[in-house]
Structure 1
């Protein structure tokens, strides 16, 4: 059997924003792209926010970062404690700097853009508003020392699998049907695309493709 669809992204790990738990507000922090510019409401549903991260990284071919300050981790929804943050800094997972200029240099993004992005956020957040992206939770200024976490893809499930045709019949490496062998849902590959925003949506693929396979087996299509 042929396989296809490997190498994409499902989700980003739990340190990024509010992870996949949309009941939790994102801590006071902003996401910036490889140019140091903010690009999304960080507290939006993960399916939307994480897709924005994915698209920015594809467009610029550079990582995106979550920028936050020391006081950010005191929030109830913080994925870090003082101890775990210190450990991540020592392990190189989080970059720490005393100034935004130093931080921008360490993560190789334009200094002026990062400084402007954070200063704009802080100016508005001090008033409890976000006119750029209408964020309503976690709207508080961030202050030094500053931290940058490189948003890291994470997987909630399989993204590749057996290659199928439109009736879910599995194909071999020569693109020929393998008689009597069918695949559906996350056992099949190539139908999700390079980015898939979560796990629950897979249920639709499972039901639809299993139905197509069953109809094909019964000779109904």
Structure 2
């Protein structure tokens, strides 16, 4: 096992404190797209100052959560599983940026295989990946290299990795940008949370809390409960 990869397996789940609501799925069922959207993070799950972001805004900026150019690394930050639900968030126009994807699989074994594929990727072919970012009127190629991310146990099993940005060309100054990725399995489902931004602007404790919230919401919906709003519920912010 490489040092940059942390895998956590949680045996069992906490006892239910709420009764299953009528008409909602049992724990063993696979969620549909509408239920995955209900389980997805939204603006009130974030600390004050965050707002919704979109793929269009990210494309116009030319930067955000990285999109690997290598096909083998395309599912690090996304999922081709169907059904799936996606959302993006930003704390300012300059970042940090966060994306999340909740996906349903054919069963717990299939979800486990999806997580294992992420583990193999960050251990091997995707220990380094490349992407393009906008620079003035043109594009520059940068690479991201896997490093240590110390994250707590999440879901039934999880993978966490930190990527550090490196210029791909000679003579380019390194920009202190990091991209953290946490992928967790909850039964037959997976949830990805990825955050990218300047190293000095980031709060690792906040990132871990957001990932924990993503897993908790997914588990609530998978077990037939309506996710309760966070107690402080900061509301939304316009960028």
The alignment's TM-score, normalised by the length of structure 1, stands at 0.24
Greater helix content: 1
The structure number with the bigger radius of gyration is 1
Greater strand content: 2
